Amino acid sequence: MAVGLIGGSGLERLIEGDKSSLVATPYGDVYVVSGEINGVEVFFVSRHGPHHEHPPHRVRYRANLYALKKTGVEKIIATSAVGSLLEEMPPGSLVVIDQFIDFAKRHITYYDDVVVHVDVTRPYCPSMNRVLFEAGRRVKAPVRMGGTYICTEGPRFETPAEIEMFRMLGASVVGMTNVPEVVLAREIAVHYSLLAVVTNYAAGMQSRVSQEEVVEVMSRAEENVKRLLYEALPRIDELSVEDDCILYREYAEKYIMGR
Ligand code: HPA
């Protein structure tokens, strides 16, 4: 069984024998790169589009996940740049996320015209999370197990006052894209984990936050992300996961894929 990947550009370079194809979805066509990583078949979607053309509030969240589901994957590993709210998690750290708080409120769902409420008590797959963390430890990457991702609307960065509030609420990292992505994964019944890459301290913890810094630190962290994924993917592929999606497979088939 193949594994789906969602991330920024750069991850494609890890894929051997990659070829790209356009996958049609009811939400628009999506470029999907397919190939192998360490012997595991993977399908990769670049979250912001192949030319990084969709800003966080306009990412084609539903199309991206639909396209991956259509390839047949049942597990998705995502990577994402985040700002750190914790001194002890400096830029370059990798964080296996286990909770989110939604400050984006984007109202993007597959269940627009039917009443389905998905359970997100455990939004990120606990079994895949463990594998990611253990793989990170094995390759000696600076990885941390567990963290709460607070999602903002973007595309601007935050004010120091917002960051202070987010810290009081219990957030460990801040980003602009993981909600609704993680929720749509549950709705469409695929197991999902997020490896967050800390690219900067959040606003107020350093003199300013810049896009250039995010891009530069992300590309420096790429090597650790790749080593971790190379190690983790064969185990993820074989993993029999704790099934938090079991309730939703039928709904997904009927109301999302069956349209
Ligand atoms: N805030 C929001 N999104 C981000 C940040 C940040 O500080 N760094 C990388 N993505």
* Distance in angstroms between the alpha carbons of the first and the last residue of the chain: 24
Task: Report, as an integer, the average pLDDT of 160-169.
Answer: 98
Encode pLDDT of 80-106 as tens digits.
Answer: 999 999 999 999 999 999 999 999 999
Compute, in angstroms, the gap from residue 202 CA to the centroid of ligand 1: 7
pLDDT grade for 168, boundaries at 50, 70 and 90:
very high
H helical segments located in the chain: 61-70, 126-138, 160-169, 178-187, 211-238, 249-251
Q: Is the pLDDT of residue 218 over 80?
A: yes
Encode pLDDT of 17-48 as tens digits.
Answer: 778 999 999 999 999 999 999 999 999 999 99
Yes or no: say if 50 and 31 are a contact pair by the CB < 8 Å rule. Answer: yes
Q: Is 157 in the pocket of ligand 1 (CB under 6 A)?
A: yes
Q: Is the pLDDT of residue 142 over 80?
A: yes
Where exactly are the structural domains of the chain?
3-256
CATH topology of domain 3-256: Rossmann fold (3.40.50)
- pLDDT value of position 12: 72
Q: Is the pLDDT of residue 1 over 90?
A: no
Angle, vertex CA 58, rays to CA 253 and CA 229, nearest 5? 65
- pLDDT value of position 9: 64
Q: Is 82 in the pocket of ligand 1 (CB under 6 A)?
A: yes
Encode pLDDT of 153-163 as tens digits.
Answer: 999 999 999 99
Q: Within 10 Å of residue 121's Cβ, how many Cβ atoms?
A: 6
Q: Is 84 in the pocket of ligand 1 (CB under 6 A)?
A: no
pTM (two decimals): 0.96
Q: Is 176 in the pocket of ligand 1 (CB under 6 A)?
A: yes
How does the average pLDDT of the chain come out, rounded?
Answer: 94
Q: Is the pLDDT of residue 203 over 90?
A: yes
What percent of the chain has a predicted confidence (pLDDT) above 70?
A: 98
- pLDDT value of position 15: 81
- pLDDT value of position 49: 92
